[in-house]
Structure 1
Amino acid sequence: MLITIDDYFDLDKIIDSGQTFRACKIDDNLYRFISMENVLYISKDSSDKSCYNVSCSSDEWENIWYNYFDLDRNYKSIKPEEEFTKTCYEYSKGIRILKQEPFEMLISFIISQRKSIPAIRTSIEEICKRFGKPYHTSHNEDIYLFPTPKQLAKDNSNELSQCKLGYRLPYILDAVTTISNNPHFLSDGYNMSDEELLEHLMSIKGVGIKVANCIALFAYNRLSLAPIDTWINKIINSKYNGISPFDNYGDNAGIIQQYMFYYAITHKNKI
């Protein structure tokens, strides 16, 4: 099916922006995204730079993927103020904040602590292979879906310990136990304020303020929240005299943060 996206949309940047760890580029012009039990293959159409070929039906695109890619939001309307922010914006535009499944984001960002993006991907893929449901895709690939809390709860730490989790293992076990004992724990977050959601998430062992902000941004679409990691902290200190610029951007703060983060990890010598 052919679809049109008129706003900024760059698949390579989205995949490499540090917000998703299972999306991948299959070849020069084919990308795969996974959302729960839905798998999307998407490629650019040669006839028009705003047109894309997608592997799903029109109903699935409208009901799942349109929302997943945050396509009801106009990213072109964002107007950066400071010079460095403008630089990050011009370089990183095309990134969109994906609306991802909360349990996957919870586990993924617990794992992300003090790990490189490739290492995070390796650990997550290992978890999926060991605990996730096998899935044969429309493009004849055999993959594994991200495991549910129930699937992870059935296994012991000896199995999880082979997924290169290190000191994060007890945090993962606590998260699985918490969600298994309270199946509504994550869905309750949709009805909370930003502050309440962050406190709620931080009740899980190993979830600090940065990880909580990441989950809130990438699972709950709380775009006024801007996670502060090592790279963003360096930017604040070197480019903004130690004063966070994100208050200037209101509901776009999380988008600006992603633009800065992507710029930083691709221009490490300039930060």
Structure 2
Amino acid sequence: MRIDLEVSLDPTLGCGQAHRWHKLDDGSWEGVWRNQVVTMKQISPTSVEVIGTDDRKGITRYLGGDDDLETIISEISKRDEYVASLTDRCPGMRILRQDHWECLATYLLATNANVKRIGQMVESVCDHFGDDLGRRHGFPTPKQILDGCGCIAECRLGFRESRFITLAERVESGDIDVESFSEMNYEECVAALQDINGIGPKVADCVALFAFENMEAFPIDARISKVMEDIYGVTGSYKAVSAYGREKFGEYAGYAQEFLYHADFISRQARSRNPCHCSWQKCRRSA
């Protein structure tokens, strides 16, 4: 199935928004979406070949196809020349529309872990509790996690283990209505998310942005904190730096954050391959 959409798969799927996409040797991306093993390959800057699902509308929405990318890029570019230059260098990057439960549970595991470690934990949880799809496993429901939680230690989640089980219990019991977050504005959403044990302001911003479409969210991790200091001279508390980003970039601040994150990610990747640069650190999307 061919999807006609201006989207660049490499930065969209490969820069830490979601953690179940793997790039294959032929340049395509394999992931699990709605309990289907899906492969996507870039055909042109405005088209993608999709194998594994025939849900054209659903996969287009997942890839951020509902966003008016031209308007978004125009808005954040006129607010900042540096971000404008980044959008020119990375056309087609979009913010994914992730499953609400999967995104929430995934980012609960993301506390104090780098992208590689997050991916390992998520795959382990899926392999232990999710539906067997052949090459991969689906992301488990809260009930599937609770039914099999006797072997949760095998997933090697560390201190996140009890928080993960508690989240599954609260969602399964109805104490947490995951869909209710989508009805909240940004401030309400991040406040409610932080009532969940294990979710701080960084994780709340990520979930608000990647699951619940609060495009003004501006998550701050160690990487973005350094960028904000180096490029904009902004330092301080999480609250202060994030508020600066939201004010500076406006209603699409989350897109500006992703361009800043991607540019630094690529820069550090390049330096890591050069033995003369030894200061590179693995990226962290930690709370």
1:205 alignment counterpart: 197
Separation in structure 2 between the aligned mates of residue 167 and residue 122 of structure 1, nearest angstrom: 15
Provide TM-score, normalisation by structure 1.
0.87
Separation in structure 2 between the aligned mates of residue 57 and residue 108 of structure 1, nearest angstrom: 23
Question: Structure 1 residue 241 and structure 2 residue 233: aligned?
Answer: yes
Identify the match of residue 167 of structure 2 among 175, 179, 190.
Answer: 175
Identify the match of residue 162 of structure 1 among 122, 134, 154.
Answer: 154
2:48 alignment counterpart: 52
Separation in structure 2 between the aligned mates of residue 21 and residue 105 of structure 1, nearest angstrom: 9
Question: Structure 1 residue 192 and structure 2 residue 168: aligned?
Answer: no
Moved more, 25-34 or 224-233: 25-34
1:139 alignment counterpart: none
C-alpha RMSD of matched pairs (Å)? 2.2
Q: Give the aligned residue type for 2:104.
A: L
Identify the match of residue 148 of structure 1 among 129, 141, 154.
Answer: 141
Q: Give the aligned residue type for 1:75.
A: L
2:130–2:137 contact (8 Å) kept in structure 1: yes
1:120 alignment counterpart: 118
Q: Which deviations, in whole Å up to 9, do the C-alpha atoms of 1:163-196 show, x marking residues without a partner?
A: 1211111221221121111176101111112111
SS in 2 for 1:166: coil
Separation in structure 1 between the aligned mates of residue 45 and residue 82 of structure 2, nearest angstrom: 28
Separation in structure 2 between the aligned mates of residue 163 and residue 152 of structure 1, nearest angstrom: 11
Separation in structure 2 between the aligned mates of residue 124 and residue 37 of structure 1, nearest angstrom: 14
Q: Give the aligned residue type for 2:120.
A: T
Q: Which deviations, in whole Å up to 9, do the C-alpha atoms of 1:49-97 show, x marking residues without a partner?
A: 4333222566x112x1111111122223313233332343334433211
Q: Which runs of no fewer than 5 residues in structure 2 stay unpaired? A: 235-240, 272-278, 281-287
Separation in structure 1 between the aligned mates of residue 245 and residue 133 of structure 2, nearest angstrom: 43
1:246–1:256 contact (8 Å) kept in structure 2: no
SS in 2 for 1:153: helix
Identify the match of residue 62 of structure 2 among 41, 59, 68.
Answer: 68
Q: CA deviation at 1:13?
A: 1.2
1:183/1:31 CA distance change after superposition, 3 Å: farther
Counting matched residue pairs gives 259
2:15–2:262 contact (8 Å) kept in structure 1: yes
Q: CA deviation at 1:211?
A: 0.3
1:17–1:95 contact (8 Å) kept in structure 2: no
Counting aligned pairs with the same residue, the percent is 24
Q: CA deviation at 1:130?
A: 0.4
1:152/1:72 CA distance change after superposition, 3 Å: same
Separation in structure 2 between the aligned mates of residue 129 and residue 246 of structure 1, nearest angstrom: 38
Separation in structure 2 between the aligned mates of residue 2 and residue 210 of structure 1, nearest angstrom: 36
Provide TM-score, normalisation by structure 2.
0.82
Separation in structure 2 between the aligned mates of residue 49 and residue 114 of structure 1, nearest angstrom: 35
Alignment of 1:248-267 (within 5 A): 248-267=248-267
1:199/1:49 CA distance change after superposition, 3 Å: closer
SS in 1 for 2:32: strand
Q: Which runs of no fewer than 5 residues in structure 1 stay unpaired? A: 137-141
2:36–2:52 contact (8 Å) kept in structure 1: no
Separation in structure 2 between the aligned mates of residue 92 and residue 49 of structure 1, nearest angstrom: 11
